[in-house]
Every structure is written in C-alpha cells, then in structure tokens.
Amino acid sequence: MIGPSYPAVVTITKKIVLDEEGNPSEVLIPYAQFVELTETYGLDLDEDEQSELRDALADSKARNHDAFVPAEEA
C-alpha cells in the first residue's frame, strides 16, 4: 500500500463465509467495490509505479516544487 491516507468513512458491502466450526474463513465483496478499493489505495500499481508515487509524495511534503511540472506542460 502506498500511504496512510484513508477516506474518513468507507462502507463495504460484504458477505462473510464461515467454515464448518462457524469461524470466518472468507469475505466476499462486490467486484465494483473491489476495483474501487484497489484503485483508491494504489493496489493496482506495480513496484515501479508505487516507488514513483512515494517519491512524488515525499517531494510534495518537502515542498520541492522543482520536482513537478505545471499541469499545462504535462
């Protein structure tokens, strides 16, 4: 995961599957919600993309404006 920035409230629609002893063994969520969570938390990014994002976040926190290009130039 990229960072500790979480939305204030996340409601997850889920179905909990129990094993023979009644213990939770799996959780099912709707596919659309899975995709949303994956994209929101950067879980769909490969290691290089995650590294680039970490670097960009560090530059942003350090107010290193030279590390970024204006939106009109992107």
With bands split at pLDDT 50, 70 and 90, how would you rate the model's confidence at 10? confident
The residues, any chain, with a CB within 8 Å of residue 45's CB and separated by 6 or more, are 2, 53
pLDDT at 39: 87
pLDDT tens-place string over residues 48-67: 988 988 898 899 999 988 88
C-beta of residue 15 within 8 angstroms of C-beta of residue 31: no
Domain spans in the chain, listed from the N-terminal domain onward: 15-67
At 7 the pLDDT is 58
Q: Mean pLDDT across the chain, nearest whole number?
A: 86
Local structure of residue 63 (DSSP, 8 states): T
